[in-house]
Amino acid sequence: MPPLRCLLPSKISTVIFPVLQPSFMNTYVAMTGFLPALFTASLMVASQPTLAQTDASPKDVPLPPLPATCRPLPLVGGEGSEVTKTASVPGLRVPLPGPAPSIGVRNNWNTDWFVPSGQPFRKYRVTFMPRDTAEFSVNMTLKYPDDSIDQFFREQRRQFTANKPLIIETSPRVDLQPFQVNTNIGGLQSVGSRYTVAVAGCL
């Protein structure tokens, strides 16, 4: 499937709403009764940070070894080159009455990997390992310095089997290298399901 390209507005790639503390939300609901029950429950779940989270277990099957020509890419805002997550509830945003800004809770579906400058990678390799048998929505993109992206993989509500890896490879543009690789893995049907994902650049 050819890559899907779109131009993002300058300096705007991801909007993340801060996670509000349950104590604040309890007070706000008691005073106003404004927030719906679903949103309040989502806040009580306390969505976990997008990149710092790691839910790895000693029983997890290791990811397949990389080819000799590939090197792991570092996580943005995290440690190492792979991350294990438990898919959180979807992000929600609720407008407040009057001039006050909207409030919301973020999900943990997005993960980014940094591409070192000056590396002439010929392809990028994403390894996705579901740790539970579940439905996941999986999107993968290359992010370029000119604020454009190439989406190279998209599956919505696909059933995956635990510990059976999915390996996706893609080539960058001929005249431009990405600065990040992004995965967005989650979906309402995957809440509570675990997975591991890692990205490598290959010469």
Q: Is the pLDDT of residue 38 over 50?
A: no
Q: Which of 194, 195, 83, 197 is nearest to 140 (CA)?
A: 197
Q: Is the pLDDT of residue 199 over 90?
A: yes
Strands of the sheet with 110-114, listed across from one edge: 4-7, 148-160, 134-143, 180-186, 110-114
Give the Cα separation of 130 and 84 in Å (integer).
9
**CATH code, 89:** 2.60.120.1380
Q: Name the residue range of residue 140's domain.
A: 4-202
Q: 109 and 177 in contact (C-beta within 8 Å)? A: no
Our count of domains for the chain comes to 1
Condensed to tens digits (0 to 9), the pLDDT of residues 165-196 reads 999 999 999 999 999 999 999 999 999 999 99
Q: With cut-offs at 50, 70 and 90, classify the pLDDT of residue 54.
A: low
Question: What is the structure's pLDDT at 169?
Answer: 98
35 against 159, higher pLDDT: 159
Q: DSSP letter at 22?
A: H
